[in-house]
Amino acid sequence: MKTMRHYSLLAAAFICCLIIVSCSKKDTKVAPEMDDSQFVTLTDVVPDAILEIRYYGTYNFVGTRIDGYEAPTALMTRIAADSLRAVSDDVKALGYRLKIYDAYRPQKGVDHFVRWAENIPDTMMKAYFYPDLDKSVLFERGSTVDLTLFDMNTEKELDMGGTFDWFGPESHPDFCGNPETGEYTGDNSKSPRGRSITAEQFRNRMILRQAMIRHGFNALDSEWWHFTLKDEPFPDTYFNFPVRQ
- Flag whether pLDDT at 67 surpasses 90: yes
Residue 77 lies in a domain: yes
Residue 235 lies in a domain: no
Residue 236 lies in a domain: no
Residue 55 lies in a domain: yes
Closest by Cα among 205, 103, 99 to 147: 99
Residue 238 lies in a domain: no
Segment 130-137 long-range contacts (CB within 8 Å, at least 24 positions apart): 130/11, 130/61, 130/166, 130/167, 130/168, 132/7, 132/168, 132/192, 132/193, 133/7, 133/8, 133/11, 133/167, 133/168, 134/8, 137/7, 137/8, 137/11, 137/12
C-alpha–C-alpha distance, residues 85 and 102, integer Å = 16
Residue 119 lies in a domain: yes
Residue-wise pLDDT tens digits, 82-127? 999 999 999 999 999 999 999 999 989 988 888 887 777 766 666 6
- Flag whether pLDDT at 77 surpasses 90: yes
Residue 241 lies in a domain: no
Residue 234 lies in a domain: no
**How many domains does the structure of the chain reveal?**
1
- Domain span at 207: 2-229
C-alpha–C-alpha distance, residues 146 and 25, integer Å = 27
DSSP 26: T
Which CATH number is 84's domain given?
3.30.1380.10
- Span of 9-18, 63-72, 224-233 with lowest mean pLDDT: 9-18
Residue-wise pLDDT tens digits, 163-191? 999 889 999 999 999 999 999 999 999 99
- Flag whether pLDDT at 148 surpasses 70: yes
Q: What is the pTM of this model?
A: 0.81
